[in-house]
Structure 1
Amino acid sequence: MTLDPTEIASSWLQSYAAFLTSGDVKGAVSCLQDTSFLRDFLVFTWNNRTLHGHEEITTYLANNLAHASVADFELDTRPGLLPEIDGLNTRMVSSVANTVSAGFTFGCKVGKGQGYFFLVPTDAGEWKAISVMMQLADISGHEEWIQEEGAHEGHTLSWTDVNRERRETIEKDPYVLIVGAGHNGLNAAARFKHLNIPSLVVESNVRIGDNWRKRYPTLHLHVPKYYCELLYHPYPASWPLYIPRDKIADWLEHYAQAEDLVVWTNSRPLPGPTYDRTSGRWTVVIDRGGKHVTLNPAHIVMAAGALGAPNIPVMENRDAFDGPIVHCADYQGGKPFAGKRVVVVGAGNTSADLCQDLSFHGAESVTMVQRSSTMVVPITLVENEMERWFRDTKTDTTDFLLMAKPIPLMQKMAEQNETSLVEQLKEYYQSLREAGFKLVTNKGLFTIFYAAYGGYFYDVGCVDLIRSGKVKVKQGVEIARLEKNSVIFTDGSTIEADAIVLATSFRSIRDSLRGIFGDSVIDQTSPVWGLDHEGELRGIYRPSGHPGLWFAAGEFYTSRSRTKQLALEIKAVQLGLLKL
Structure 2
Amino acid sequence: MPRLFDIPASLPFTPISPDVDPEKVALGFLPSLTTLSPSSITSSGTWRDLYALTGTLRTFYGPSSILTAWAATTKLLQPTKFSLQPNSAQIFRAGPLCWIQAIYEFETEKTDCQAIVSLVQDDGEWRIWLLRTFLMGFKGENSVDFLEPEGGKAEGKEDTSFDCVVVGAGQAGLSVAGRLKALGVSCVVLEKSPEVGDNWRMRYDSCKLHLPRETAHLPFDRTFGPECSEHLTKNELAQGYKNWVEKFDINVWTDTKLVKGDWDGSKKLWTLKVQRGREDRTITSSHVVFAVGSAQIPSMPEYSTREKFEGTILHSKDYKNPSAWKGKHGIVIGTANTAHDVVEDMVAAGLASVTMVQRSPTYVVPAEYLHGLISQSYNAQFPTYLADQFSWSMPYPIVGRLYKGGLGHLASLEPKRYDALKAAGFKFDQNGSVGESIFDRFGGHYVDVGASKKIADGLIKIKSDSLPTHYTAEGLAFADNSVLPADVVVFATGFQTNLRSVVTEIFSPSTADAMGDFWGVDSEGELRAAFRPGGQKGMFYTGGDQSQCRFYSRFIALSIKADVMGAPLPIYDGGS
TM (normalized to structure 2)?
0.91
Q: Is the 8 A contact 1:283 1:296 kept in 2?
A: yes
Q: Is the 8 A contact 1:306 1:528 kept in 2?
A: no
Once the two structures are superposed, what CA deviation does each residue of 1:295-351 show, in whole Å capped at 9, x if it has no partner?
Answer: 111111111114421112122122221111121111111211211111101100111
1:15 and 2:32 are equivalent in the alignment: yes
| CA positional deviation for 1:240 | 2.0
- Superposed, 1:157-196 pairs within 5 Å as 168=157, 171-196=159-184
Q: 1:386 aligns with which of 367, 374, 378?
A: 374
Letter in 1 for 2:75: A
- Superposed, 1:237-252 pairs within 5 Å as 237-252=226-241
Letter in 2 for 1:139: F
User: Percent identity of the aligned residues?
Assistant: 28
What is residue 541 of structure 1 aligned with on the other side? 531
What is residue 154 of structure 1 aligned with on the other side? none
Letter in 2 for 1:402: S
Q: Is the 8 A contact 2:365 2:407 kept in 1?
A: no
Indicate the RMSD between aligned Cα atoms, in angstroms. Answer: 2.1
Letter in 2 for 1:530: G
TM (normalized to structure 1)?
0.90
- When structure 1 is superposed on structure 2, of 221-230 and 569-578 the one drifting more is 569-578
Q: Is the 8 A contact 1:372 1:476 kept in 2?
A: no
1:556 and 2:511 are equivalent in the alignment: no
Once the two structures are superposed, what CA deviation does each residue of 1:32-80 show, in whole Å capped at 9, x if it has no partner?
Answer: 1110110001122221011111222122223322002111111123xxx
1:430 and 2:431 are equivalent in the alignment: no
- Superposed, 1:268-417 pairs within 5 Å as 268-270=257-259, 272-391=260-379, 392-417=381-406
Q: In 1, Cα distance between the equivalents of 2:533 and 2:472?
A: 48
Q: 1:493 aligns with which of 470, 474, 482?
A: 482
Query: Relative to structure 1, is the Cα distance of residues 338 and 276 closer, same or farther in structure 2, using a 3 angstrom cutoff?
Result: same
- When structure 1 is superposed on structure 2, of 442-451 and 294-303 the one drifting more is 442-451
What is residue 4 of structure 2 aligned with on the other side? none
Give unmatched runs, 5+ long, in structure 2.
1-16, 572-576
| CA positional deviation for 1:477 | 4.3
What is residue 421 of structure 1 aligned with on the other side? 410
Once the two structures are superposed, what CA deviation does each residue of 1:170-217 show, in whole Å capped at 9, x if it has no partner?
Answer: 723211111111111111110100011110011111111111111111
| CA positional deviation for 1:147 | 4.6
Query: Relative to structure 1, is the Cα distance of residues 130 and 428 closer, same or farther in structure 2, using a 3 angstrom cutoff?
Result: same
- Superposed, 1:64-213 pairs within 5 Å as 64-77=73-86, 82-86=88-92, 89=93, 93-97=94-98, 99-122=99-122, 124-144=123-143, 146-147=146-147, 168=157, 171-213=159-201
Q: In 1, Cα distance between the equivalents of 2:335 and 2:106?
A: 46
Letter in 1 for 2:244: Y
Query: Relative to structure 1, is the Cα distance of residues 425 and 512 closer, same or farther in structure 2, using a 3 angstrom cutoff?
Result: farther
Q: Is the 8 A contact 1:214 1:330 kept in 2?
A: no
Q: In 2, Cα distance between the equivalents of 1:367 and 1:160?
A: 49
Q: Is the 8 A contact 1:415 1:442 kept in 2?
A: no
Q: In 2, Cα distance between the equivalents of 1:469 and 1:8?
A: 56
How many residues align structurally?
Answer: 549
Q: 2:61 aligns with which of 39, 52, 56?
A: 52
Query: Relative to structure 1, is the Cα distance of residues 547 and 268 closer, same or farther in structure 2, using a 3 angstrom cutoff?
Result: same
What is residue 8 of structure 2 aligned with on the other side? none
Letter in 2 for 1:567: A
- When structure 1 is superposed on structure 2, of 60-69 and 6-15 the one drifting more is 60-69
Letter in 2 for 1:96: L
Query: Relative to structure 1, is the Cα distance of residues 327 and 264 closer, same or farther in structure 2, using a 3 angstrom cutoff?
Result: same
- When structure 1 is superposed on structure 2, of 394-403 and 508-517 the one drifting more is 508-517
Query: Relative to structure 1, is the Cα distance of residues 417 and 231 closer, same or farther in structure 2, using a 3 angstrom cutoff?
Result: closer
Q: Is the 8 A contact 1:67 1:109 kept in 2?
A: no
Q: Going by fraction, where is helix more abundant, 1 or 2?
A: 1
Once the two structures are superposed, what CA deviation does each residue of 1:434-485 show, in whole Å capped at 9, x if it has no partner?
Answer: 1111112223311221111212111121111111111111116443211211
What is residue 565 of structure 1 aligned with on the other side? 555
What is residue 155 of structure 1 aligned with on the other side? none
Q: Secondary structure at the match of 1:220?
A: coil
| CA positional deviation for 1:425 | 2.5
What is residue 34 of structure 1 aligned with on the other side? 43
Query: Relative to structure 1, is the Cα distance of residues 501 and 55 closer, same or farther in structure 2, using a 3 angstrom cutoff?
Result: same
Q: Secondary structure at the match of 1:466?
A: helix
| CA positional deviation for 1:523 | 1.9
Q: In 1, Cα distance between the equivalents of 2:350 and 2:363?
A: 27
Q: Is the 8 A contact 1:422 1:441 kept in 2?
A: no
| CA positional deviation for 1:546 | 1.2
- Higher relative contact order, structure no. (Cα contacts within 8 Å, ≥ 6 residues apart): 2
Letter in 1 for 2:61: H
Q: Secondary structure at the match of 2:113?
A: strand
Q: Secondary structure at the match of 2:74?
A: helix
Query: Relative to structure 1, is the Cα distance of residues 381 and 565 closer, same or farther in structure 2, using a 3 angstrom cutoff?
Result: same
Q: In 1, Cα distance between the equivalents of 2:253 and 2:121?
A: 55
Q: Is the 8 A contact 1:418 1:441 kept in 2?
A: no
Once the two structures are superposed, what CA deviation does each residue of 1:9-31 show, in whole Å capped at 9, x if it has no partner?
Answer: 111123212x15xxxxxx2x421
Q: Is the 8 A contact 2:361 2:427 kept in 1?
A: yes
Give unmatched runs, 5+ long, in structure 1.
21-26, 151-158
- When structure 1 is superposed on structure 2, of 315-324 and 482-491 the one drifting more is 482-491
Query: Relative to structure 1, is the Cα distance of residues 69 and 491 closer, same or farther in structure 2, using a 3 angstrom cutoff?
Result: farther
Query: Relative to structure 1, is the Cα distance of residues 160 and 253 closer, same or farther in structure 2, using a 3 angstrom cutoff?
Result: closer
| CA positional deviation for 1:239 | 2.0
Once the two structures are superposed, what CA deviation does each residue of 1:491-515 show, in whole Å capped at 9, x if it has no partner?
Answer: 4432221110010111123324432
Q: Is the 8 A contact 1:95 1:413 kept in 2?
A: no
- Superposed, 1:437-456 pairs within 5 Å as 437-456=426-445
Q: Secondary structure at the match of 1:354?
A: helix
Q: In 2, Cα distance between the equivalents of 1:286 and 1:117?
A: 46
Query: Relative to structure 1, is the Cα distance of residues 492 and 56 closer, same or farther in structure 2, using a 3 angstrom cutoff?
Result: farther
What is residue 153 of structure 1 aligned with on the other side? none
